[in-house]
Structure 1
């Protein structure tokens, strides 16, 4: 299957490598391919330049966002940072039309000027925007009514999403939400190929609000476990 991943950060790379390993033809989208390939320094998280990653994964195609989306035959994974996702995706609405878009972005505003900041081991906790009465997943769906948006992957580190058995033998829960049954089924099939067995459909896309707001709890649990960056643990819904 031809699957597109939009973004070149650490999370996107986890999906790119896993999908390629599963035998899919993977197309990667970035804002400016030449600029992406020209970078020679690690990013703020210490992730090596994408050019080095590509050298270790031959056969991966790097395109603009639009060309990458057009190359997909039905499934696109959104790894664009939440603050810029709606604008970037709106610009390629025609290339995404009719396809399933799995969105795992969180709408963080970094270094917020807030009255009661939450200090963390790496700085002030970002602020969620939107929150409570809207979600990034819903904003994307409204901006792209011809696309089938599914919110998923957002309650785990992406390295865990693509290989759940690294945590507790895989005995934990993945959540999905969306308004299109066929797109959620497609997402479920992908998750099963990654190794997930406990996939909980929360219902319509409005449930993305809870999934995105969980991001703060995910960080808090990670801090409690002594994990300053990311969170290598699983959440299990016992029922």
Structure 2
């Protein structure tokens, strides 16, 4: 069992919290109530960033000391939204939200994952008719192993998990968010994941 704080209680954060609880982990969800995030983080081994990516860096930088020594799974994408509310561009071109967080939180081990799929697939990968894939980006091998273990507890098979390397590789997976609005406009909100066919 892992003690987990989920920051963000929208569709993504709520779904992850419920699924991780069902998997036997001890989960606390922090909403926007003042002090809620700091309190949740203090007792957690792992922190999941499911806050809106456009404000994640500033919001989490304010928790630098509370997050020191923690593993953070960053599942958010930082985008500039178009008129329809769907992602239209990247907020950090030439970088990534994961890199921005790692820079702002040098005492925290950041792992980027679960950001290349529609949110229902995060917690139920068998929704898809083809084998899905989930990617890991981060500098710390122990943190990535923890991320891998949590993914397996959510139903991801080991062979579906691909370690891309260091945190800079998150640029690639975060850029994949630009596929999402086009796929949604073509097929609606049908669950999907970006997968490398082999």
TM-score by length of 2: 0.91
Matches within 5 A, 1:10-89: 10-32=11-33, 64-72=36-44, 74-89=45-60
**In structure 1, which of residues 124, 127, 147 is the aligned counterpart of residue 89 of structure 2?**
127
SS of corresponding position for 1:202? strand
What's the counterpart of residue 157 of structure 1? 118
Structure number with greater CO (CA < 8 Å, separation at least 6) is 2
Q: Does 1:96 align with 2:96?
A: no
Contact persistence 1:218–1:231 (CA under 8 A) = no
What's the counterpart of residue 222 of structure 1? 184
Matches within 5 A, 1:181-200: 181-197=141-157, 198-200=160-162
Q: In the aligned structure 2, how far is the partner of 1:220 from the partner of 1:196?
A: 26
What's the counterpart of residue 232 of structure 1? 191
TM-score by length of 1: 0.76
Q: Per the alignment, do residues 143 and 221 of structure 1 end up closer, same or farther by CA in structure 2, a change over 3 Å counting?
A: same
Which of the pair has more CA radius of gyration?
A: 1
Q: In the aligned structure 1, how far is the partner of 2:162 from the partner of 2:125?
A: 15
What's the counterpart of residue 8 of structure 1? 9
Q: Deviations over 1:168-190 (max 9, x none)?
A: 26x11111111111111110111
Q: Per the alignment, do residues 191 and 124 of structure 1 end up closer, same or farther by CA in structure 2, a change over 3 Å counting?
A: closer
5+ residue gaps, structure 2: none
Shift of residue 23 of structure 1? 1.8
Q: Per the alignment, do residues 89 and 231 of structure 1 end up closer, same or farther by CA in structure 2, a change over 3 Å counting?
A: farther
**In structure 2, which of residues 160, 163, 168 is the aligned counterpart of residue 206 of structure 1?**
168
CA-based RMSD of the aligned residues comes to 1.8
Q: In the aligned structure 1, how far is the partner of 2:165 from the partner of 2:86?
A: 33
SS of corresponding position for 1:109? strand
SS of corresponding position for 2:4? strand
Residues paired across the two proteins, number: 195
5+ residue gaps, structure 1: 34-62, 112-118
What's the counterpart of residue 139 of structure 1? 100
Shift of residue 126 of structure 1? 3.3
